[in-house]
Structure 1
Amino acid sequence: MKDIFDLVGRILLSFIFFFEAYDYFAYERLNKEAMTIYGLTWNQDFFLYGAILLLLFGALTILFGYRMRLGAVLLLIYWIPLTFIVHDFWAEEPSSNAYRLQSIFFMKNIAIMGGLLIAATHISGKYRLRRLFATTNV
């Protein structure tokens, strides 16, 4: 049962990063506009496509349970600055809806960072890529 929960947890954790990569790709123009609003005007293509690659690679490592520490660190390299730059609830008026919404998003991202830290220190169960290669005669 532990191995099933490990697999389901890795699927659920990786899903948010796959979705974020898809969103960045599908709404490229809107994301570049958002980057401009947050002051990131230099080399937007590099940062946008770099973020997509980090998200995809990190999500794949978490999903397959292979090199999860590397994937989690790459995702944290992306996720930590994003959280503190985009969800700066402390810059909003405390009684506003924006304050409440940004603080919820900030705490959600903090929880995701906690999941990534757990993934970085965790060895996947029997449903992982390395184990599948070790048990087959390829």
Structure 2
Amino acid sequence: MNRYLSLAGRIMIATIFFMSAVGNKIPNFSGVSQYMAAEGVPLPSVMLFGGIVFLIAGSLSVIAGYKTQIGAGLLLVFLIFATYFFHDFWTLEGEARQQQMIQFMKNLSLMGTMVFLMANGSGLLSIDDQSPKSTEETQP
């Protein structure tokens, strides 16, 4: 049972990153690049391309459990930049400040998830799984 929960957890963790790339950033590349420029991101098209690569490679790595520490590291770097540029609540006031603080805290939580994956690996039912198999997992 734990191996299936581990896989389900990795899929749930990575879905937001994968869908962000393929469902928003790729099909809306020009608009997202313009938005990034307006938020002060340097070289927005280059950074967006790099962000897409990090999102796709990182999320697929986490889902598959292949080189999970590296994949989680890519997602962590993405989160650090995205959080700094787009959830800078400290520059805002009122309702906008509160909304961006919520988004900042959500990203902080996801950063913690990436650090946890970097420290502990992918878990069971993954390509990199090196853990000894329990009797429960080896019996049909």
Structure 2 unaligned residues grouped into runs of 5+? 130-140
Partner of 1:69: 69
Measure how far apart 1:41 and its partner are: 4.9
Secondary structure of residue in 2 paired with 1:125: coil
- How many residue pairs match? The answer is 128
Distance 1:118 1:128 in 2: 16
Residue identity in the other structure for 1:97: E
Residue identity in the other structure for 1:9: G
TM-score (norm 2): 0.84
Partner of 2:110: 112
Is structure 2 residue 26 aligned with structure 1 residue 28?
no
TM-score (norm 1): 0.85
RMSD: 1.4
Structure 1 unaligned residues grouped into runs of 5+? 132-138
Whether the aligned pair in 2 keeps the contact of 1:66 and 1:128 (CA below 8 Å) is yes
Identity level (%): 33
Q: Deviations over 1:83-135 (max 9, x none)?
A: 02210111111xx221111011000000000111111122333311245xxxx
Secondary structure of residue in 2 paired with 1:129: coil
Task: Pick which of 120-129 and 53-62 moved more.
Answer: 120-129
Alignment of 1:13-24 (within 5 A): 13-22=13-22, 23-24=24-25
Partner of 1:135: none
Give every structure 1 segment of 4 or more consecutive aligned residues whose post-TM-superposition deviation is greater than 4 Å.
none
